């Protein structure tokens, strides 16, 4: 990218942006620059409309909304799954919109973790989001194993990133299952899923990935990569709303496997209301559902996924890389001398959709940014995540964010804040 740190150049990039029309689809607050879409995506007008539409079907049909209206609730999860499947590179039968990140991980571990002989351990990493480790630990305990001994965590060499060679080295004969992130939530590093999956399968180990920080921001080819399973939330880059229903993927080669946690909505739909004592699981990923779908929490996703289908994940990724390239350029040009270090990988094939800045005053700098109406994300102990989102952030947003950050550092206005996180960071 041309090394031009002027506002005029940022505006020129915005004029050339093929996705610029989608910015008008979102509720952007006046004078606020939102750089936290990798924690919670903004509300779009289409997501709002799909929520209101599903709410109206409840008003109009009552219980008959399960089978009547534009989007009958009984099949709504399947509708969303079909819309979502291109984003993970899977068939519609391999995806189901259900549960939450952690409940889906519990379901998948319960279904795929079968300790046998010496193979009793679950391999993860020390940089993954802690909720995944909590789930792994509790599942090991339920099987009667000590998590301190049977949860193996790959160490980071630098505290921010992982080396695939270290992960592969840890794939020893006592590992029964592997659970890794596709993108590290702090540094934004993309793990090489194809390489890791191939290595795991060569060692007869099943492997799954947490896609929370990659779905909706980078393309996936889970089928081509032969990943066994995956799971994710839909409220970050997919803009499904706070607490939106999550999703999971199960490779079709595992169809017919009995779900570890059975529930009636995992039934074959033709037999579900027979209410038989013996469950007949659905023949595909739908079998991994447990309870009745949360229709109103899933509703906004319909409108959001419509936009992803139109914009295309490849074009979204292309713009995302341009945004983060530009932010990197500006940080290097404008913030020289202020003791910031960029800890995310710079290579396109290893960088997700956010910039990870490290500074010893990170917590108070984030508070100062909010006072200047820039919404960042603090990650303990000293990280600032800035996520320019392709569908609603502009290059001018990026330019202004760095200029505001420069002013905060120059004026030392961050010093009036306490250097510790708020209750929610």
Are the CB atoms for 159 and 188 separated by under 8 Å?
no
Strand order in the sheet with 383-386: 341-342, 355-358, 383-386, 377-379
> Does the annotation place 132 within a ligand binding site?
yes
> Does the annotation place 17 within a ligand binding site?
no
Beta bridge partners of 125: 154
> Does the annotation place 74 within a ligand binding site?
no
Beta bridge partners of 231: 210, 248
Q: Which two tokens stand for residue 194?
A: 């194809």
> Does the annotation place 21 within a ligand binding site?
no
* DSSP per position, 58-110: HHHHGGGGGTSSSS-GGGHHHHHHHHHHHHHT--GGGEEE-S-HHHHHHHHHH
Categorise residue 288: left if φ over 0, alpha if ψ from -120 to 50, beta otherwise.
alpha
> Does the annotation place 101 within a ligand binding site?
yes
Task: Describe the chain by its helix, strand, coil percentages, rounded to 5.
Answer: 45, 15, 40
> Does the annotation place 376 within a ligand binding site?
no
d(CA 183, CA 292): 30
> Does the annotation place 264 within a ligand binding site?
yes
d(CA 388, CA 37): 7
d(CA 327, CA 325): 6
* DSSP per position, 200-230: HHHTT-EEEEE-TTTTTTS---HHHHT-SEE
> Does the annotation place 213 within a ligand binding site?
yes
Are the CB atoms for 79 and 295 separated by under 8 Å?
no
Residue of 186, 219, 193 whose CA lies nearest to 344: 186
Contacts of 104 (CB under 8 A, 6+ apart): 98, 231, 246, 247, 248, 288
> Does the annotation place 131 within a ligand binding site?
yes
Residue of 81, 68, 376, 387 whose CA lies nearest to 246: 81
* DSSP per position, 7-58: HHHHHHHHHT-TTGGGGGGB-PPTT-EE-BTTTSPPPBHHHHHHHHHHHHHH
CB hemisphere CA count around 13 (13 angstroms):
27
> Does the annotation place 281 within a ligand binding site?
no
- Using only C-alpha atoms, the chain has a radius of gyration, in whole angstroms, of 22
> Does the annotation place 102 within a ligand binding site?
yes
Residues annotated in the binding site, as ranges?
101-102, 129-132, 210, 213, 235, 264, 292
Residues annotated in the binding site for pyridoxal 5'-phosphate, as ranges?
101-102, 129-132, 210, 213, 235, 264, 292
């Amino acid at each position: 990218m041309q090394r031009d740190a002027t506002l005029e150049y940022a505006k020129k990039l915005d004029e050339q942006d093929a996705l610029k029309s989608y910015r008008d689809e979102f509720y952007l607050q006046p004078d606020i620059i939102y750089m936290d879409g990798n924690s919670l995506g903004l509300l779009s007008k289409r997501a709002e409309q799909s929520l209101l539409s599903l709410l109206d079907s409840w008003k109009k049909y009552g219980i008959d909304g399960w089978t009547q209206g534009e989007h009958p609730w009984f099949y709504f999860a399947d509708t969303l799954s079909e819309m979502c499947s291109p984003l993970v590179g899977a068939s519609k039968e391999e995806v189901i919109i259900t549960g939450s990140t952690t409940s889906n991980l519990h379901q998948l571990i319960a279904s795929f973790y079968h300790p046998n002989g010496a193979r009793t351990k679950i391999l993860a990493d020390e940089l993954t989001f802690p909720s995944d480790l909590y789930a792994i630990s509790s599942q090991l305990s339920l099987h009667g194993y000590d998590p301190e001994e049977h949860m193996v965590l790959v160490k980071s060499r630098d505290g921010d990133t992982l080396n695939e060679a270290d992960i592969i080295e840890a794939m020893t004969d006592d590992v029964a299952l592997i659970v890794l992130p596709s993108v590290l939530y702090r540094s934004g590093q993309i793990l090489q899923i194809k390489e890791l999956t191939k290595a795991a399968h060569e060692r007869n180990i099943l492997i799954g990935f947490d896609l929370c920080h990659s779905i909706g921001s980078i393309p996936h080819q889970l089928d081509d990569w032969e990943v066994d399973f995956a799971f994710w939330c839909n409220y970050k880059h997919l803009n499904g709303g706070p607490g939106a229903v999550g999703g999971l993927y199960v490779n079709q080669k595992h169809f017919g496997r009995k779900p570890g946690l059975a529930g009636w909505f995992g039934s074959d739909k033709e037999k579900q209301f027979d209410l038989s004592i013996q469950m007949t699981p659905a023949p595909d990923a739908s079998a991994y559902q447990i309870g009745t779908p949360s229709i109103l929490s899933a509703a906004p996703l319909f409108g959001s996924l419509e936009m992803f289908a139109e914009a295309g994940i490849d074009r979204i990724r292309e713009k995302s890389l341009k945004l983060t390239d530009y932010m990197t350029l500006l940080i290097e040009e404008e913030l020289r001398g202020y003791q910031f270090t960029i800890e995310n990988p710079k290579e396109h094939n290893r960088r997700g959709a956010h910039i990870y800045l490290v500074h010893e005053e990170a917590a108070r700098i984030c508070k100062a940014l909010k006072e200047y109406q820039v919404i960042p994300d603090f990650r303990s102990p000293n990280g600032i995540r800035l996520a320019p989102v392709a569908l609603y952030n502009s290059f001018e947003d990026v330019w202004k964010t760095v200029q505001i950050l420069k002013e905060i550092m120059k004026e030392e206005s961050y010093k009036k804040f306490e250097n510790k996180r708020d209750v929610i960071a």
